[in-house]
Amino acid sequence: MTDKELAFFLKFRYKEFMPYSKQKIQSELNKRSLSDIHLAKLTNHNAKFELENCPRCGSNNFYSIKESELRATQYGGYEVEKTSKKCRICSYNAEKEKLISWKVRFYKFLGKYSWKKIK
């Protein structure tokens, strides 16, 4: 994990962890000599937008989330499986969370952040 990824990890996911895990994260910060000011600079830096990377933190470390939804029609229904990407570093999911820029909104409109198939 890079310093930038660690900074975003701390900013967006630190509250999710148990006290022992928080101590491990703090020890990693101390080992890398990252201060609060340095972490703030890393998270405020606007990275170049790339479709393969997370729009919030710039990481390319994702995992897939699969959800099923039932769609009803006049004559019955069918199930649709929707797969979206969630960032492992900052937990951003463009399909579910607030869209952070016009580029993310545009790519969501084009269907770049999720895939659908009929089950």
pTM of the model: 0.60
pLDDT at 48: 64
**What tens digit of pLDDT does each residue of 55-80 get?**
878 788 888 888 887 888 888 888 88
Cα-flanking dihedrals φ and ψ of residue 92, to 5°? Answer: -80, 130
Q: Are 83 and 115 in contact (CB under 8 A)?
A: yes
At position 48, the amino acid (one-letter code) is K
Does pLDDT of 119 surpass 60?
Answer: no
Instruction: Round the average pLDDT of the chain to a whole number and report it.
Output: 79
Encode 2-29 in three state secondary structure: CHHHHHHHHHHHHHHCCHHHHHHHHHHH
pLDDT at 47: 59
**pLDDT level of residue 109 (50, 70, 90 thresholds):** confident
**Strand, coil or helix: what is 62?**
strand
pLDDT at 8: 83
Cα-flanking dihedrals φ and ψ of residue 96, to 5°? Answer: -115, -30
pLDDT at 114: 64
